[in-house]
Structure 1
């Protein structure tokens, strides 16, 4: 494997045949997939954060009409990732639902999709700030956080050094500047010790990684894995601009 970017050997990226990027996080081999999912191949574990299911219907209830297809599209993409990786476990890393009543608003087919996923693999619901009660009628295991291969999977990053932490919550995005202009993409961000993963939900939005919310999380300038249509692009910190 040839390194694509390596400010420090501790957190170099290398190309993966799936179009993603491979790296090591606190010693664990991980793959950053173009969908925004994190794949722990040796543990057969797929991690996705911030699906925010039924965000569209939540906005509609407040009079802001969005196309009501976000849940269906998000679950379609999740099913595609499960088919591609055949995981033993799928970890939903918090804020799977947009609010505590989202589960009640799920269409019958969408609820059945989640039940089918739980029947095909172990489904683990890590709770977040939007869905602190966890699922009520849907199957799966519920956890505040999870330990896998020396990694701590939790929804919200904890302040201070957190070796091996994988978190969501912040919906990281990178504005990448080049000679022809700039693009803004959801992204993974890591310094090889901890990682914040992108939001997986269709309507989840994103926060620039230059925002103060990310300050202090990383011990050295991090690398970004910016999501493209079918691959993840390695981006150094100097190429990332604020909004």
Structure 2
């Protein structure tokens, strides 16, 4: 499994190259900012017409992570849908796909700013989830500890030989983890931009996703 180990509040975790977070001791997989239906939402609101395969691609990658880990609990950390109409209008094939992934698992939809209402797709809908010693919520809070959040879609760059690569990244410090966006077509916020530079401690590090995850001091 391509992953890098990390620890938060005494919990031993793995940052997977896919952008998911794996808590083996609890058989818990966490993903953030899936943004299902983004291509449809952009077209519906008069934007560019993008290939309508983003949700299927995201589900393919999530299916692969669940096959690897056999997680018993899945936490979707907010903005799982690009808006509530995208959740309601999800094609039947994709609704059934999600239902199959949920079978036999505890599945938690954490509320995000894009999807603030209940999701009628099975599982539980929660504003945030305390799973001691960790708290899972969509947007980080000042002063929190043992917090795992998403929302900002952080990305970081690293130089590898003669080339520089930029990828979605986990941001990790002594108090929190900010998750990368997992969904296809999601953009990113450079981790040297506010509010990430003010949110993360000076000793924070970035773990770049990809086939081979790379860990570097968080660029500022």
What pairs with 1:148-187 in structure 2 (closer than 5 Å)?
148-158=131-141, 160-177=142-159, 180-187=162-169
CA contact (8 A) 1:161 1:217 kept: no
Match of 2:86 in 1: 102
- What is the SS of the residue equivalent to 1:131? coil
Q: 1:111 aligns with which of 80, 85, 95?
A: 95
- The CA distance in 2 between the partners of 1:32 and 1:130, in whole Å, is 25
- The CA distance in 2 between the partners of 1:66 and 1:139, in whole Å, is 28
Match of 1:58 in 2: 41
- What is the SS of the residue equivalent to 2:208? strand
What pairs with 1:85-234 in structure 2 (closer than 5 Å)?
85-136=69-120, 138-158=121-141, 160-177=142-159, 180-228=162-210, 230-234=211-215
The offset of 1:19, in angstroms, is: 1.6
The offset of 1:191, in angstroms, is: 1.0
TM-score (norm 2): 0.95
The offset of 1:123, in angstroms, is: 0.9
TM-score (norm 1): 0.86
Q: 2:28 aligns with which of 45, 55, 59?
A: 45
- What is the SS of the residue equivalent to 1:133? coil
Which ranges in structure 2 are unaligned for 5 or more consecutive residues?
none
- The CA distance in 2 between the partners of 1:133 and 1:235, in whole Å, is 37
The offset of 1:178, in angstroms, is: 5.0
- What is the SS of the residue equivalent to 2:96? helix
Higher alpha-carbon deviation: 65-74 or 100-109: 100-109
Give the 4+ runs in structure 1 shifted more than 6 A: none
